[in-house]
Structures are given as structure tokens and as C-alpha cells.
Structure 1
Amino acid sequence: MQSRDEQLGHGPRITRAEFEERITSLYERGSSEPSEDEKLSLMRKEFDYIIDHRLGVNFPEVRRKKLWEIRRKTDASVAKNLFFFFSRSMLEFFTAGIADTLLKDYREVLTKKEFNAFFDLKDSK
């Protein structure tokens, strides 16, 4: 576990190596042909590991759930609309809108320091 952790107040953060080890183990243990529910469970665990790595292992469950709901809403929007784009410029416009919405929604859940840590941004004053 990393020592830069208490800056955010959510306990220790798992290291990059620990994160990679957990992700590898997660998929090695899984079925070679997971059901849709199993895929969703794997995605959620992977997302929790991202939070453990970037924000801390004690990041509140209520806020984890909110971030997960934002992620799922974004995934659903992309999946639903991706096939309607016939040109690169339309696709770029759509993805920029999705990214803007995702960032706005995450900013509603995370503090500025948490947001910067989650997206691995440098703190700007």
C-alpha cells in the first residue's frame, strides 16, 4: 500500500503493482465465457480496484455506488448510440459530449482533490 494516502482521507491506496495483480487475479479466476451478470460483477470489482488505487480503500461505499451508477449510465449511452454515427466528426462530437457529461457527473460526487487523484491530474491551484 502506498504512503501518499492520507492526503485524501480515505485510507491507504493500493499500489499500481497491487492493482495490476488484483485485476489479473480477478480475470484468471473468472469463467472463460462469463454470463452477463458475471461480466457486470467483474466490471464492478475492477472499478472498485480503480477506486482503491486512486482514492483509497476506505472510500465511502455510498459514493462508490454513485460513481458506479455514473459509469454504467455512460456505458449504456455509448452502447445505445454508437451505431448511429456514420462519420468521424459525428463520432468525435458524440464522444466529446459523453466525456463532458461524465466529468461533470464525477465532479458532483468527488471533491477537487479526489477528482484530480481519480483522473491522475496534477493539482491546480
Structure 2
Amino acid sequence: MFNHIIGQDMVMRKILITVVLIVVSFNALADEDHEHSMQITKLNNAAYSWIDKAKMAYTGVFTGIQDYRGQSCTLRLSLAPNAALTNVQAEKGDKNLCTAATSAAWNTKFPPFPDDATYQMFKSFPLDLNL
């Protein structure tokens, strides 16, 4: 009977150790998920901040934008890592607005990218103008 109690004690210890290992593993995964979430949040914040600054820079040079009310245009902008504009293509839209929007894009000094991840997101992107 004594051996039976010792055997049960060993089984309970193994179960307890297994449970502890599982809990520790889940906590480690939760920490990794939390860290990953924090990285995504940081990236999103950087991206939104860059978008706001880019929008302000672009609208600051686009004079007479109110003259194109009711028109739309989609441009494809390509930027270098230093945020210099390298290419603009009108993809679709009203010709007059697209011409003016392209000119404004070339005259815009886009803000520097805060990091490479933000650059990778915006090195080529559509700019939709629906006025």
C-alpha cells in the first residue's frame, strides 16, 4: 500500500509539472502576442502620423482644389526611401483634376519616413481624390 501511495504521488507530481510547463508556455506565448501587438500598434501609429503629415504637405501645395468640386482622380505615387517623389501616374479620373493633382504631387515635399516599415507601406500607393 505504501508503494501505491508513492506511485500516486509521483503521478501527481508529473501532472503538476506538466500543468506548470503548460501555464509557463501559455504565458510566454501571451508575452510574444503582446509584444507583437505592441509592434503593430507602433507601426500603425507611425503610418497614421506619416499619412497626416503627407496629407498636410500635399494639400498645402494644391491651390485651387475647390475648383474641381464633383470630380475625382486616382494617382499612383512612388516615393524613394528619403520620401522624394520618383513617379506619378494618373490611374483614372477627370483629366483636369488629374493634371492639377499630378502637378501638386510633384511640388509636394513629402515628410521623411519614420522607419523602413512605414516606407515599405508607402513606397508606392494610390492617392484617391474625390472632391
Confirm or deny a common fold (TM above 0.5): no
The structure with the larger Rg is 2
| The structure with more strand, counted as a fraction of residues | 2
| The structure with more helix, counted as a fraction of residues | 1
TM-score (norm 2): 0.30
